[in-house]
Copies of this chain bind each other. A is one copy, B any other.
Amino acid sequence: MNGPSLPTRSRVTISEVAEAAGVSKATVSRYIGGDRQLLADATALRIEQAIERLGYRPNQMARGLKRGRTRLIGMIVADILNPYSVAVMHGVETACRQHGYTLVVCNTDRSTEQESQHLAALRSYNVEGLIVNTLGHHAGELLSLHSELPMVLVDRKVEALQADLVGLDNRDAVQQALDHLQQRGYRDLLLVSEPLDGTSSRQERVAAFEAGIARSPLLQGRVLQTDGAFRESLRDFLVASGPGPKALFAANGMAALSATRQLREFGYRLFEEIGLIALDDLDWYPLVGSGITALAQPTERIGVTAFECLLDRLRGARGPARHFDFKAQLIVRGSTHPRG
């Protein structure tokens, strides 16, 4: 009787299978490598039975060593607690599985140091390609990695890096939001964003917001980050007199959470006194107040596209960096019905 957690029999190797089947390692290797048509039927059958009998599974590490193909894809995620990341990752994983790849996900918790560490780790495990949701600092490391293996950026571009990019059409999304808010009668807007931090998508949203405001004579707008004096600045916005009804525009799901929390803490009735539109569509949006109007990102497709793009490169596709910018989809709920 084995005690639990007692790794007993060490794994069956190709040599044991070879011996059991009365053939050489090479022949077994050909069998598991898919060159089955090279083998005589009788031989293949003997090997098949030996494998079955012994419960043999080839060691991918060893295969990868000589072959250079580990069938491993690495993914760097800046913040695994952000539902956007999880949703994209889900898409990537689905695509990976369909193509026989295994995904190794590393979360950096928004730490530059951990990003470095994880990149090094993934490299050392010989991943064939990388899908990166990076902080964007220290482009040097990414650059040198990109000279070694294909890489696809998700959501965040890196100036110095000529890599494929999959993300949202931020300009379009922000414009959709502004159009919607304006049409619903809101005039005094506040864009709430997580700290910009050099994160390209956040910066793009802010830039598009400011540009949009500048183009719209009816609208007034400010930008606020969810750190430092967030609470006080938000209060300032809420009590200041402006050109008309006020609305918040949360630049992503996390910002929506912070903003809504803060509104509640201030005692606002959601969303009778102030409008809200949020980028990302989280599953609890419908449940808050009269429901939060959202600009949904096609997260699953973003993930799948990122992988397919990578696969393309893995198969040898050359050429300049490609950009896939998906459109956001407006989902109207109660939070953008003035005086609820």
Chain B nearest CB, measured from A92 CB (Å) = 10
0 or 1 for each of A254-270: is its CB under 8 Å from B? (1 = yes): 00010011001000001
A147 B7 Cβ-Cβ under 8 A: yes
Closest 5 CB pairs of A and B: A284-B284, A4-B162, A60-B124, A5-B313, A5-B150
A245 sits at the interface (CB 8 A): no
A9 B284 Cβ-Cβ under 8 A: no
Q: Which chain A residues in 312-328 approach chain B with CB under 8 Å? A: 313, 317-321
A55 sits at the interface (CB 8 A): yes
CA distance A270 to B288 in the complex (A): 10
A61 B126 Cβ-Cβ under 8 A: yes
A139 sits at the interface (CB 8 A): no
Instruction: Give the residues in chain B near A196, CB-CB below 8 Å.
Output: none
A241 sits at the interface (CB 8 A): no
Give the interface size class of chain A.
Answer: 35 or more
Write 27 A-B pairs (CB below 8 A) sorted by A numbering: A3-B319, A5-B146, A5-B313, A5-B317, A8-B148, A9-B147, A57-B124, A59-B124, A60-B121, A60-B124, A61-B70, A61-B125, A80-B89, A80-B93, A81-B86, A81-B90, A86-B86, A93-B106, A97-B114, A103-B105, A104-B104, A105-B105, A257-B284, A260-B287, A261-B286, A284-B284, A288-B288
Chain B nearest CB, measured from A336 CB (Å) = 17
Instruction: Give the residues in chain B near A148, CB-CB below 8 Å.
Output: 7-11
CA distance A2 to B146 in the complex (A): 11
A233 sits at the interface (CB 8 A): no
Chain B nearest CB, measured from A32 CB (Å) = 11
